[in-house]
Amino acid sequence: MLNAQWKRFKSGTDIRGCALDGVEGEPVNLTDEAVERMAAGFLLWLSGRTGKAGDTLTVSVGRDSRLSGPRIRDAVVRALTAGGARVLDCGMASTPAMFMTTVDLGCDGAIQLTASHHPYHRNGLKFFLPSGGLEGADITALLEIAQAEDFPPPASGAVRETAYMAQYAARLRRLICEGVKAEDYDHPLADFRIVVDAGNGAGGFYARDVLEPLGADVSGSQFLEPDGRFPNHIPNPENPEAMASVCAATLKAGADLGVIFDTDVDRAGCVGADGREINRNRLIAMLSAIYLEKEPGSTIVTDSVTSAGLTRFIEAHGGKHLRYRRGYKNVIDKAIELNREGIACPMGIETSGHCAFAENYFLDDGAYMASRLIVELAKRGDLTSLIEGLEEPAEEKEIRLKLTADNFRPDGEAVIACIKAARDSREDWMANTDYEGVKVTIRLTGGEGFFLARLSLHDPVLPINFESDVPGGVTTMAKQLYDVVKGCKNVDLTPLAELAR
């Protein structure tokens, strides 16, 4: 069993920690020693998983633009080579590209050093097999090995630098060229201006090595140079400042499309030529329209906070909409499960911008998703027509209620139980399938709305998402909810009370 020291590194299906000094209250715990033990633990776990000796394993290593990346890479490489492994150092790389090294380079495993959109001082390790990313139980197992520190005697593996990102970029160029059936195979995007915002993460290659060689005008792109301080904005398609920045850049350049990536390029958001976001429900609707045209009658899996209007849009396009639990791995795993059951499901997509396609190993890859949209842009000349008829909510809001006790989970579960009891007793509160937490649909004057309350897996927080078809509906629902939960203990209801005013 993991002790507290090692348990704190686990973040779902990743490892996360503090890697740089300078932030009060967050001492560095991703030390060289800790990282080496984690990497050695992965190699020993991988050996057991594959049945291969450590000195016959090949493991690729990549990193995003974080300042701590080179130090952590060196620690990982030391541990892997000490275990006898052959290490391919891919340098600056995207997270999806690191998975693809198991496909294209035959690696037994891959490690990406990233903390996604988290602040500059944090970092982490993400692991892949040829079958996909590790599950939470796998992370626990390798951390238990690291904690025990029962490693074999040192061996002498080898490391070599590998320019895999050039091969990965070439794959994306082929995808676009084949998708548009280009007669001019070298410059099928010569008539298009596309803005790329990499947020100083690892995504600058997409403008330089994918779009520009195909003839696209990328001159309006911004923040392509890696800079682990992230000086311009957080590289995160969900961040309002980041989205405002790429929207403004797209309009300024007169571009046909804007694309924004998170730090390690497993997520993306887009901007139309009108400067309006193509994000969340709009992005899911656009991709649904594309894939339901190819596979009519199939199921689109999303997270639970997508809109009722999106459900109607998907159904109007001949598809089925399954809202599942939040968390990109939950959504992707559900899509994989449906396909295994013989239910056609071309993609699983979360409102955060994580999107995985059946045709692409169910890998959440922001650059692949952007390339699919660019294919449609080149074929149609416009993307916004794809989402004509999408009913968008009049209001959306997310609040996060802090749970104040050290042992917060029972208090959070009590809030959920209180809401479920109220839903069961009120005629104007309608039940939904609860894949997580509790979801309530409420009849409002002139329409309806819903809220979904859930308990965070790791933090003492209870997020609540509201959506309303009519103006003022969020406030109405917040008032009703506040009256129900105001007696709950050890929960800070201030955000809900403010929303209810």
Q: Kindly report, residue by residue over 204-244, the tens digit of the pLDDT.
A: 999 999 999 999 999 999 999 999 999 999 999 999 999 99
Produce one character per residue of 69-92: b if its CB has 16 or more CB atoms within 10 Å, e if not. bebbbebbbbbbbbbbbbbbbbbb
What pLDDT shows up at residue 432? 76
Distance between first and last Cα of the chain: 47
Q: What is the identity of the amino acid at 84?
A: G
**CA max distance for the chain:** 71
Q: What is the dihedral of CA 40, 44, 47, 49, to 10 degrees?
A: -120
**pLDDT per residue over 272-305, tens digit each?**
999 999 999 999 999 999 999 999 999 999 998 8
**pLDDT per residue over 444-470, tens digit each?**
999 899 999 999 877 899 999 999 999
Helix (H, G, I), strand (E, B) or coil at 99: helix
Q: Which residues contact 183 (CB under 8 A, 6 or more apart)?
A: none
pTM of the model: 0.93
Instruction: Scan for tokens 């992230």, then name that residue.
Output: 230
Res. 184: pLDDT tops 60 = no
| Both structure tokens of 462 | 């209870």
**pLDDT per residue over 246-263, tens digit each?**
999 999 999 999 999 999
The percentage of residues in the chain with a pLDDT greater than 70, rounded to a whole number, is: 99
**Sheet order of strands, 194-197 included:** 194-197, 257-261, 268-272, 277-278
Res. 442: pLDDT tops 70 = yes
CA 321 to chain centroid, in Å, comes to 20
Res. 182: pLDDT tops 70 = no
The mean pLDDT of the chain is: 95
The percentage of residues in the chain with a pLDDT greater than 90, rounded to a whole number, is: 91
**pLDDT per residue over 140-154, tens digit each?**
999 999 999 999 999
Strands (E), 42-120: 58-63, 86-92, 109-113
